[in-house]
Amino acid sequence: MNDIPLSALFIALGILLLLSAFFSSSETGLMTLNRYRLRHLAKIGHGGAKRAEKLLQRPDRLIGMILIGNNFVNILASSLATIIAMRLGGEAGIAIGAGLLTLVLLIFAEVAPKTLAAMHPERIAFPAAYILGPLLTILYPVVWVINSLANALLRLLGVDTKNLSGDQSLSHEELRTVLHEAGGMIPKRHQKMLVSILDLNKVAVEDIMVPRNEITGIDLEDDLPEIVEQMSHSHHARLPVYEGDINNVIGVVNLRHVLHLLGREDFDKAMLRELLTAPYFIPEATPLTTQLLNFQREEERVAMVVDEYGDIQGLVTLEDILEEIVGEFTTDPYATSRDIHPQDDGSYLVDGGVNIRSLNRQMDWQLPEDGPKTLNGVITEYLEILPEPGTSVKINGYPIEVVQTSGNAVKTARINANLRAVPSKEVSEG
């Protein structure tokens, strides 16, 4: 060894340091790859991604092979550094050489390459996969022995080594986080739509249905001219038809199939009955994801929502569910809403029967949705009495003033979101 020039030893040491840096950066790069992007790139034919994905199918073998290579070159580098130190400074130089080599290895073969790989994993991992693949084939017998011993030790410690590739599936909350962190890669509106789809399973039809007292329907006990007038000026394409009471629904009429008959002299209630389709009833606790699929399977667009006793509680349409995903079908949030009226002072006059979930979605508010479904219900639940006009209540920090009552319900309330404070419950009589 004394016959080898120092320059050759330094060159060999430099090569070993480069190899150590390669193994260190390869390990970090491969382990920090985005597995879903990796799967996508491999699917579209990216060579480096295919090789990296194959290596990561057995991470125990990959790590074993990298550590074998890394430890081998580090030990060899330490031996060369010792020889160089002895030739330059004798036995006293060994300690100095060991200290310098440790510093050089940490900086140039560990910290720097691993930091680079963590910042740009694809740039490091994909080229490295072309080298590590054949190297794993060459070293496979050694890797197999080492991994067998390591896995046996893990099993003794109670660790399951059967699923070594790990669980790559995402939960709902993890997928939600991925969507929120996508940033500019997914337009904001598309992010909201995708998150809304994830939330459909948390929402039941009772949360979005039109309440029973607000259902627009045709009562066959009304006079025929009144029925014709109602159908001629209806804003809805489909209307439930009942006799006397909404609980006696006998069918649903599609106005597109009946409007051309309204001008005929022989048009009567019997003709209207022939055009009815059977009513479609659903439980009020049905999740929206389930109901969306049910609408598709049953080829229905309107459903009557019933409680456990079979009494009708409301009505829900396919459009209502779609609006939960894409938002209101309007460019102006107030253009088609007859329930929300902006005022000059920045407050809003809101109909007491408005659905709280719909109100929150339209106005980006945070009124409580875990209790009553309407604004009237939320106010009366907080007050525990039917309030008089002028009564004020602060719910979730939103100042709400009862403007008008009708019968046993709040008909109109004023909400001033600009004055929202820390959520609290405060009541005062006006």
Digit-coded pLDDT (tens) for 194-218: 888 888 888 889 888 888 888 889 9
Which of 156, 190, 224 is where one domain is finished?
156
pLDDT band at 349 (very low <50, low <70, confident <90, very high): very high
Between the alpha carbon of residue 314 and those of residues 127, 305, 323, the distances in Å are 61, 5, 17
Looking at the fold, whether 23 and 146 belong to one and the same domain comes out as: yes
Looking at the fold, whether 382 and 293 belong to one and the same domain comes out as: no
Looking at the fold, whether 286 and 380 belong to one and the same domain comes out as: no
In CATH, what number is assigned to the domain containing residue 319?
A: 3.10.580.10
pLDDT tens digits, 154-180: 888 887 766 655 556 677 777 777 777
Looking at the fold, whether 94 and 207 belong to one and the same domain comes out as: no
Nearest CA among 300, 246, 306 for reference residue 282: 306
Q: Quick check: is 424 in a domain?
A: yes
Number of domains into which the chain is organized = 3
Looking at the fold, whether 417 and 305 belong to one and the same domain comes out as: no
Looking at the fold, whether 305 and 266 belong to one and the same domain comes out as: yes
Give the distance, in angstroms, between the CA of residue 153 and the centroid of all CA atoms in the same chain: 39
Looking at the fold, whether 344 and 314 belong to one and the same domain comes out as: no
Looking at the fold, whether 147 and 71 belong to one and the same domain comes out as: yes
pLDDT tens digits, 57-90: 888 889 889 999 999 999 998 888 888 888 777 7
Taking the C-alpha atoms of residue 277 and residue 257, their distance in angstroms, rounded to an integer, is: 11
Give the DSSP per-residue string, 268-282: -HHHHHHT-B---EE
Q: Quick check: is 138 in a domain?
A: yes
Q: Quick check: is 188 in a domain?
A: no
Tokens at 13, concatenated = 């040491």
pLDDT tens digits, 372-413: 888 888 999 888 888 889 899 888 889 999 999 887 888 999
Q: Is 90 exceeded by the pLDDT of residue 279?
A: yes
| Domain encompassing residue 280 | 203-325
Taking the C-alpha atoms of residue 350 and residue 124, their distance in angstroms, rounded to an integer, is: 58
Q: Is 80 exceeded by the pLDDT of residue 121?
A: yes
pLDDT band at 421 (very low <50, low <70, confident <90, very high): low
Looking at the fold, whether 151 and 75 belong to one and the same domain comes out as: yes
